[in-house]
Structure 1
Amino acid sequence: MAERYSSFNSGGRMWLLQRVTAAFLLIVLAFHFFLLHFVHHADEVTLAASSARMEQLSYYSLMVLFLVTATFHGVNGVYNALINQGLTGTKRTVVKWTLVAASVVLLFQGIRTANAWAGGFPLL
C-alpha cells in the first residue's frame, strides 16, 4: 500500500485553518447560490441591486471575509500541493513569495472593488 504524504502536519495550525476555511467557504457558497439563484432570479440580478446589497455592512463584511478566506484557502492549497510534489530549496522560496505577492494584489484589488460597489467604505 502506498504511504500517505502530506506537507500538512495533521492537527497543526495550517491543517486546521485549511479545514476551517473549507467549511466556511461551503457555507458562504451555499448562501450565495440560495440568494442569487433562488431568491433573486437571473433576470432580477442587476448592478444596481448588487450595489445595494454591498451597501449593507453585514453583506459587505461577509463578501470581504469570503474574499480573504477564499484567497487563503486557495493559495495555501496550491502551495502545499506543490510542496507535496517535491518543491524544495530556492524554487520553494520563490513560489512562496510569488503566491504571497499575488495574494496581496488580489486582496487589495478585491477590497477596492467591494468598496466601489458599496459606495466607498473607507477601508482602503
Structure 2
Amino acid sequence: MAERYSSFTPGGTGWLLQRLTAAFLVVVLAFHFFQLHFVNHAADVTFMGTQARMENIGYFLAMVLFLIAGTFHGVNGVYNALVNQGLTGTPKKVVLGVLIIASVALIAQGIWVALAMSGMIY
C-alpha cells in the first residue's frame, strides 16, 4: 500500500488554519452567494448597491475576513501542494517568498478597495 505523505504536520498550526479557513470560507461563501444571487440578483448588483452594502460594518468585516481567509487558504494550499510534489531547497524559499509578497499585495489592494467602497477613504 502506498505511503501517505503530507507537508502538513497533523495537529500543527498550518494544518489547523487550513481547516479553520475552509470552514469559515464555506459559511461566508454561502452568505455571499445568497446575498448576491438571491437577495440581489446578479443583474441588479450595481456600484451604488455595493457601496451601500459595504457601509454596513458587519458586511464590511465579513468581506475583509473573506478576503484574508480566502487568500491564506488558497496560497497555503498551493504552497503545500508544491512541497508535496517535492519542492525543496532554494526554489522552495523563493516560491514561499513570492507567494507571501503576492498575498500581502492582494490583501492590501483588497482592503484598500473595501475601504474605498465603504466610504472610509476617498
Length-normalised TM-score, structure 1: 0.94
CA deviation profile, 1:46-102 (whole Å, cap 9, x unmatched): 110011000111111110010010011011000100000000000000000000000
Distance of 1:27 and 1:53 partners within structure 2: 18
* C-alpha deviation, 1:15, in angstroms: 0.4
Residue 106 (str. 1) matches residue 97 (str. 2): no
SS class of match (2:66): helix
Structure 1: gaps (5+ residues): none
Q: Could you tell me which residue of structure 2 aligns to residue 13 of structure 1?
A: 13
SS class of match (2:87): coil
Length-normalised TM-score, structure 2: 0.96
Distance of 1:61 and 1:42 partners within structure 2: 22
Q: Which runs of 4+ in 1 moved over 3 A?
A: none
* C-alpha deviation, 1:12, in angstroms: 1.0
SS class of match (1:73): helix
Distance of 1:83 and 1:49 partners within structure 2: 42
Q: Could you tell me which residue of structure 2 aligns to residue 3 of structure 1?
A: 3
Aligned-pair Cα RMSD in Å: 1.2
Distance of 2:14 and 2:118 partners within structure 1: 32
SS class of match (1:96): helix
Amino acid at match of 2:55: E
Amino acid at match of 2:45: V
Give the total of aligned pairs: 122
Distance of 1:44 and 1:106 partners within structure 2: 27
Amino acid at match of 1:116: A
Q: Percent identity?
A: 63
Structure 2: gaps (5+ residues): none
